[in-house]
Amino acid sequence: MAEEETTVALIKYYCYEKYFNHAVNIAAAAQKKFRNVPVYTFFHAYGILMQDQIQEAIAELDTLRDDRDLSLCTIIALVYAEKKKTNPDRDVIQQLDAKVKEDRKSAPPSSLYYAGTFLWLLGRNDKAREYTERMIKLSNDSREGKILKGWIDVTSGKDSYARKAGKYFDEGLKEGADVFALMGKAQYNEYRQNYSGALEIINQVVVSFPEFLPGLVKKMKLLLSLQDWEQTTDAARRLLQKDKNNLEALQMLALHSLCREGDIAEAVNHLSDLISSLDILEPHNPELFYRMSRAFTRLCGRNEKIIEQTCRMVERAFSLAPGDSDLATELGYQMVLQGRIKEAMKWYKAAFGSRDDILPALTAGIIHCQLIEGQLEDAEQQFEFLTGIQQSEKSGELLYLRAVLAAKKRRPQEEVTHLLNDAVETHFSKLQGLPLGVEYLEKLNPDFLFNVVKEYLALCPPKPPAQGQPPAPQLQHCATLLDTVIKIVPGLLQGVFLLAKVRYQSGDTDAAQSSLQHCLDQCPSYADAHLLMAQIHLLQGNVAYCSQSLELCLSHNFEIRDHPLYHLIKAQAEKKMGELTEAIQTLQMAMNLPGVCRAGSSSRSKNKKTELNSADCVSVFLELAEALWLNGEQHEAAKVMQDAINEFSGTAEELRVTIANADLALLRGDTELALSMLRHISPEQPYYIQAKEKMAGIYLNHRKEKRLYASCYREMVEKLPSPHTYLLLGDAYMNIHEPEKAIEVYEQALKKNPKNGALASKIGKALVKTHNYVKAINYYEAALKTQQQNFLRYDLAELLMKMKQYDRCEKILHDALIHEPVNELQTLSDDCRYLVLLAKIQNKVDKHEEALLSLQRARDVQAKVLKRVQLEQPDAVPMQKQLAAEICAEIAKHYTSQRGYERAVKFYKEALVYCETDCKVMLELARLYLTLDQNDACLEQCSVILKNDQFNEEATLMKAEVMLRQKKNDKAVVNFEQLIERTPENYIILSRLIDMLRRSGKLEEVPKFLDMAEKHSSRAKLDPGFNYCKGLYFWYTGEPIDALRHFNKARKDNDWGQNAVYNMIEIYLNPDNETMGGETFEGLDGEIGNSTEKQELEQLAVRTAEKLLKELKPQTPSGHMQLHILENYCLLATKQKANIEKALGVFMEIAKNEKDHVPALLAMATAYMMLKQSPKARNQLKHIAKMNWSIPDADEFEKSWLLLADIYIQSGKHDLAKELLKRCLSHNESCWKAYEYKGYIMEKEQSFCDAALDYEKAWKFGNQTNPTIGYKLAFNYLKAKRHIDAIDVCHKVLAAHPNYPRIQKDILDKARAALRP
């Protein structure tokens, strides 16, 4: 029983969808399988009847006249069959009608049910409802009756009925699952636009009734309604696995190939399979052939191969239904698309007079043909005829054709624009409420919309506006329209190309190039895209790239030589290169092309793919005249200009010739003649605005008369008051620095067009220019309340940030981000911009964690943007990827500042996924690898950078630093020498070189580089950068006084000052570079100098350091932290217990807030040592010893290892100390303190020779200036019996420090005595 119900439901569903042969085949199979079930015979008869096999159907129906359940529907069907005959018998129809009326009175519920079903399938819903309601009443709420009533209501097209249909399906499903009821409930949810709910129900059908293929078909369509193309195509392929000829699946795959992929070859294959399957499954169904072809015709961008297939389908339909006027009209439309206008007219005339309901479409087709043929009067008569006989709703196509007629009859631009706007609005009103699907795509009709765009573009100047000038207002309409089409049909390259053209004419050349590149990536032979790309390169001054685009165009399409635009661009490029003779020859070749002369109206070259229009043709004349003039052939130029005047007289392009003539007068220096020509152009003529702008330019640039310049724009507003002319006047006032007047004009424009956010933005910016910031803020806030313009919100937030009103700015951005979750591209893009700006604000007010969260949210939102933009705006992908990379880089910077280096690496790598060639990101990543001691990874990044930019300084510096670490010192120095020799005055590089040479133990090589810099510039000694570098050298070589002197010279400089002051403070706090807190040498130092004078000097140094601290103005969080630590080191330097404890508290707080902060941990350990709490100090230092070394904290790591080594030496743990000292020297071979500690250990172990070697290096790298090291070295020479060396060192120490205690008595005298015989 369940199987029979499913079979009947399947037949009814196919009948409803008008798949009549499907119904016939299933009914025939069921007749064999379920014998003596007359309902299958009825549906079989119905199926063949709907395929016009009338006699056979009547014969089958006659066998059912006596069936109790089917007799009523059979008689109604016989009436319908008789009426379908070519010559119906009125008597038979009368008899059958009487029989229906008689039988209806006593019909049982089942008979009424089948009669209602038949009437519903015929589309007679009101009559079907009457039968079904009576059946439900007689049968005590029959389940089948309620399900049928639900279907009748939901498909009635009347909202009052359809809204109630859901309850009938619910009641029908109470007794259990019923496939027909479930499909009906899904249909109801679809009607209510609840596509997710419908999909849930269909999923039940697919699971519970796996053999019911319409369930899977409906699922496929619902997935498309939810705009999920990927799952839609998956469902289509799954359908084809179950039914290789499934018509809906083949149609869907063909649409996907065409709309989303732009793969014409694949679409043609699927379409061919669809036609074959139609021949197999529905060979006698003209409506299905016609219905399945329409979307492809309108979506294919007039592709010949696709139209060839759709034409086959409609011709096949017409052969099955020869008199059908819909089919004749469609064939006429397809002929127009192929440019076969005469054949199109034949088809339209063949369809004429058969039905009144197709009259608008039919007349539109005829008018279209007449306009193409230039029969303007005939077209106007057709419009009058249509107006006289028809008062129905407006047609978008007819409004468009009225606009075309108005343009051809040179009506005012405003009238044409208004008609085009109405056409677009009317067209899109028909799409309201439709889900994405075959019907939506067909009614969207991109081909029609592209024609509208071309008409808009014909009203706009062919070249981009001058810098600072607004684009023509029609271009915004074009951009909005094309964005909508491309979002739905991104595979249609014609739309992407037109958007590129719109962007080019709007002056947005970057976006135009991005769109064109997408076109050419998809179709390298796209000639028009190559030509427009060449025009953009020419505009940007890239003549070589322009020529390359033209060559590529020619290589892909040799026929492009027959297009004047190719020659025009080529000549313009030649002219730009100064090749005037070649340019003239090229333009003369263009003049000889068919159609260039007498091109007052659009014509078509032999090459069907390229159109000749009057704008291109007049440009050839004008360029030739200008080239001849510049080549000194003034007489020839005048002749060409006269030819142009004669050629284009009475056409829309006549005024362009006049304007060009004025340009020639300007070249001759005759400004008065130029102005006289331009004054003759009246407001009702095209190009009036361009003429007035040209006049204004003459007044401003040639006569320097600002008053007359502004008067030209004022006259424009008086003669043609519109938002656009007001905008031009406002911009003119801004150009002559009269923002107050500009604001007044902008406000008047805004009153005319209150929804124009760009105008509101201009007013805000003009207020900012007048420094009226408070009024600007108030204006933005008021505009936001009234207009809800999102980008004004962003402008306001930026202004508040500039004015440092961070709290208000943050609130505005938070408010902007509070809304329901959306998946709309523009909203997602806005949210991302808000979040990035919010992160900037939060960083400025030290909310670093919140800033990180904002950036992470921005990253998530941008990921959604990228996913959608690839489908909706593929040309914008590069720009959006760049933004994604910038967000990731900002997150990485945050983690770097917090010492989260591993996470920073992850985000820099992610940034490079989006933007592989971003040099800044690669440098930051290389720098991080260097910090993490990952030398190979750093080298790899540097090599990639240097491959693209062989002189990149940062990459060369890092590469050299890695080589120094790998003990490849010679190679490192060679890299540095190359950089220094190229730019000796680059003190940033020099300072890095000095630090590297210190770490490689080659400080003795520094003076030659300093000399090189000094010789290169006579002012080097006065340069703060040079003095900073010299200060570094003296500091590293143990000469603190000289270091201070040079740092002091750099102290007030903006670039070098802050680092110089930091270094000066460190020198004042520890001039001898001792281990602060260390105890190993404390006793010895006490013996050799702990005078009151020394203590006073130390306190004076601390006070000086405190003064210098006040000069520091750090700009980064890490800078503030460094300042805070230095302030508390000053407290340590006082050596007073209270101060030390106070400083310790601060260090502990920093260490608590900043995890693994090496400077803070070292400072804590130093404080503990000064308080004689060495175990606590050791714990902190051991923690540091376990951490990875990094460049930013290199000095702090070194000091912490030395202090820990000091503690181990005091504890007698010499092996542990040696390990730490070895680590110090591996990172800094000039660390004389490490050698001193090593010498001390050797000395304690009575290994005087080894001790002497270590003290030698300490003495060398300390530049032989530290008397304590000298004393120790001399002592160990004495013990090692190297008496002469000991005497040598003693002399050097005493020469610098004559009063140095004990060295004379303890060493010098003993060494001399040992030498005496």
The pLDDT tens digits for 647-704 are 777 776 777 788 888 888 887 788 888 888 888 777 877 677 788 888 888 888 888 8
**What ranges in 18-84 are assigned the alpha helix state H?**
20-33, 38-49, 54-62, 71-84
Residue type, 1269: I
Q: What is the pLDDT of residue 964?
A: 65
CA 504 to mean position of chain CA atoms: 18
CA-to-CA dists, residue 1157 to 266, 845, 849, 1139, 1187, angstroms? 61, 22, 17, 22, 10
Give the confidence band of 754 by pLDDT, cuts at 50, 70, 90. Answer: low
Give the confidence band of 508 by pLDDT, cuts at 50, 70, 90. Answer: confident
C-alpha 577/C-alpha 537 separation (Å) is 13
Higher pLDDT, 1251 or 674: 1251
pTM for this one? 0.64
For 946-1002, what is each residue's pLDDT tens digit?
888 877 878 887 887 777 667 666 676 677 767 777 777 788 888 888 887 888 888
Give the confidence band of 458 by pLDDT, cuts at 50, 70, 90. Answer: confident
Cβ-based neighbour number of residue 959 at 10 Å: 22
Instruction: With a cut of 90, say whether residue 558 has pLDDT above it.
Output: no
CB-neighbour burial class of residue 1280 (10 A; exposed 0-12, middle 13-18, buried 19+): middle
**Exposure letters 132-145 (e unless 16+ CB within 10 A, then b):** bebbbeebeebbbb
1234 in Cβ contact with 1224 (< 8 Å)? yes
Q: Provide the β-strand partners of residue 603.
A: 612
Q: What is the pLDDT of residue 1042?
A: 92
**What ranges in 409-526 are assigned the alpha helix state H?**
413-429, 438-444, 446-458, 473-488, 493-506, 509-522
Instruction: With a cut of 70, say whether residue 758 has pLDDT above it.
Output: no
C-alpha 259/C-alpha 485 separation (Å) is 10
Handedness of CA 239, 242, 248, 252 (dihedral sign): positive
Give the confidence band of 772 by pLDDT, cuts at 50, 70, 90. Answer: low
Instruction: With a cut of 60, say whether residue 1244 has pLDDT above it.
Output: yes
Give the confidence band of 606 by pLDDT, cuts at 50, 70, 90. Answer: very low
Instruction: With a cut of 60, say whether residue 1 has pLDDT above it.
Output: no
Q: What is the pLDDT of residue 360?
A: 75
Collect all residues with Cβ–Cβ distance below 8 Å to 511 and sequence separation of at least 6. Answer: 500, 503, 875, 876, 879
Q: Which among 169, 196, 194, 195 has a CA at the least distance from the CA of 183? A: 169
220 in Cβ contact with 239 (< 8 Å)? yes
- Residues 210-237 have a mean pLDDT of 93
Q: For the chain, what is the mean pLDDT?
A: 85
C-alpha 957/C-alpha 995 separation (Å) is 11
For 475-491, what is each residue's pLDDT tens digit?
988 999 999 899 899 99
CB-neighbour burial class of residue 559 (10 A; exposed 0-12, middle 13-18, buried 19+): middle
* Helices (H) then strands (E): counts for the chain: 73, 2
Q: What is the pLDDT of residue 296?
A: 94
Q: Which among 1296, 1262, 1258, 1261 has a CA at the least distance from the CA of 1275? A: 1258
Q: Which among 705, 710, 645, 724 has a CA at the least distance from the CA of 677? A: 645
Q: How many alpha carbons lie under 13 Å from residue 829 in its C-beta half-sphere?
A: 17
Look-up of token digits 């190309």:
497
Q: Which among 1197, 1128, 1203 has a CA at the least distance from the CA of 1156? A: 1197
C-alpha 297/C-alpha 446 separation (Å) is 10
**Helix, strand, coil distribution of the chain in percent, nearest 5:** 75, 0, 25
1137 in Cβ contact with 1171 (< 8 Å)? yes
C-alpha 674/C-alpha 665 separation (Å) is 5
Instruction: With a cut of 70, say whether residue 1159 has pLDDT above it.
Output: yes
C-alpha 269/C-alpha 257 separation (Å) is 10
For 1094-1146, what is each residue's pLDDT tens digit?
778 888 888 898 899 888 888 777 788 888 899 998 998 888 899 999 999 99
Q: Which among 412, 407, 422, 507 has a CA at the least distance from the CA of 458? A: 407
- Please report the DSSP string for 956-981 in residue order: HHHHHHHHHHTT-HHHHHHHHHHHHH
| Choice among 586-590, 610-614, 1187-1191, 1279-1283 with the minimum mean pLDDT | 610-614
Structure tokens at 209: 């009734």
Instruction: With a cut of 50, say whether residue 929 has pLDDT above it.
Output: yes
Higher pLDDT, 768 or 217: 217
Structure tokens at 697: 């330019």
Q: What is the pLDDT of residue 642?
A: 84
C-alpha 640/C-alpha 723 separation (Å) is 38
Tell how strand 603-604 and strand 611-612 pair up.
antiparallel
Strands (E), 576-668: 603-604, 611-612
Higher pLDDT, 752 or 1098: 1098
Q: What is the pLDDT of residue 355?
A: 62
